[in-house]
Amino acid sequence: GHAGTDRYYTFDEINRYIEDLAQQYPSRVFVKTVGKSYEGRTMKTIRITNGDGRAKKNVILMDGGIHAREWIAHAAVLYAIGELSNNYQKHAQLLQDYDWVILPVVNPDGYEFTQLSADNRFWRKTRQPINESCIGTDGNRNFDFHWNETGAYWDPCSTIYPGPKAFSEPETIVVRDLIQSLAGRGKMYLTLHSYGQYILYPYGYTNALPVTWRDLEEVARAGANAIMEATGTRYKVGCSGSSIYPIAGASDDYAFNAGFPISFTMELPPGGANKFDPPASDIDRLVKEAWVGIEAMARKVIQKY
């Protein structure tokens, strides 16, 4: 059944959950080690298929938790994994011509750090030291597409430090390699964050729109409309660079530039005093609502590509 909807799972619990799914559904669900974090944690993807064995299907690539403190993102990714794995008959359409590849925890060191003590709860970055006094890089400023051009800050102690160079972090290299290995087959890249209630599309590094912005707008709208209909929650849709502020070196722009025709950052709703900490009692509602949007966007993508 579903996991991590009544409390936030630890990194180990998340890994165990996806391993269990792979054991339970050995013909359809596959877990693969794709790298190690700076502190040596094993990073794993789960690939969910319909088990027909057809190779080289189109792919939807999803990840969460590049920012450590955005726990609701990890939880939403986990819920999507549970839906696709356990309710695969209901979701036959979503798995007919597409495989789903999902990296549930992009920043395991940061995630563990935020769970270690209340003092660390709102840590955002990776955990690789930069110098004697500053730790961590903002993973979502570390990708090699217009790296460090805007929306980052040079101070290694800053929460939006882009790293000493593009792909200085083992964790962003993992995402890079996933994106590159799927180029051509990858039709939608979806990265989950909080908070803001946005579905954001490229570009992020500038407020200029890509020529295909209407396709991006159409798919994002499908997601936002489905959520609105289901729960009344309003997710705003728009280009990252003009809807919030220009940020370079983010994973969404990188995937889009690598050939994913659809690439979104989904910012889940705020919660709790700090806005990054929805109470455990809200997880179930928020992740189900996010799934309504994800499913609607996937349907649209599958129909278009």
Site string for ligand 0X9, 2-21 (x = CB under 6 A): --------------------
Interface with Zn ion, residue 67, by CB under 5 A: yes
Q: How far is the CB of 150 from Zn ion (least distance, A)?
A: 17
Smallest gap from residue 145 Cβ to ligand 0X9 (A): 9
C-alpha to C-alpha distance for 180 and 34, rounded to whole angstroms: 13
Residue 93 CA to residue 301 CA, distance in Å, equals: 12
- Interface residue with Zn ion among 193, 237, 264, 269 (CB under 5 A) is 193
110 binds, among Zn ion, ligand 0X9, none (CB under 5 to 8 A by kind): none
CA 285 to centroid of chain Cα atoms = 19
d(CA 100, CA 48): 5
Residue 176 engages ligand 0X9 in binding (rule: CB under 6 A): no
Annotation says 169 is catalytic: no
Site residue total, ligand 0X9 (CB under 6 A):
13
Part in contact with ligand 0X9 (CB under 6 A); list of ranges 95-103, 226-234, 247-255, 290-298: 247-255
Among the listed ranges 85-93, 129-137, 228-236, 250-258, the one in contact with ligand 0X9 (CB under 6 A) is 250-258
Complete DSSP assignment for 19-59: HHHHHHSTTTEEEEEEEE-TT-PEEEEEEE--SS---S-EE
Q: Where are the alpha helices (DSSP H) in the chain?
A: 11-24, 71-86, 92-96, 108-116, 170-182, 213-231, 240-243, 251-257, 280-304
Provide the β-strand partners of residue 19. Answer: none
Rg of the chain (C-alpha set): 18
* Active-site residue (options: 83, 169, 267, 289): 267
Which residues make up the interface to ligand 0X9 (CB under 6 A)?
67, 70, 140, 193, 200, 204, 240, 247, 250, 252-253, 265, 267
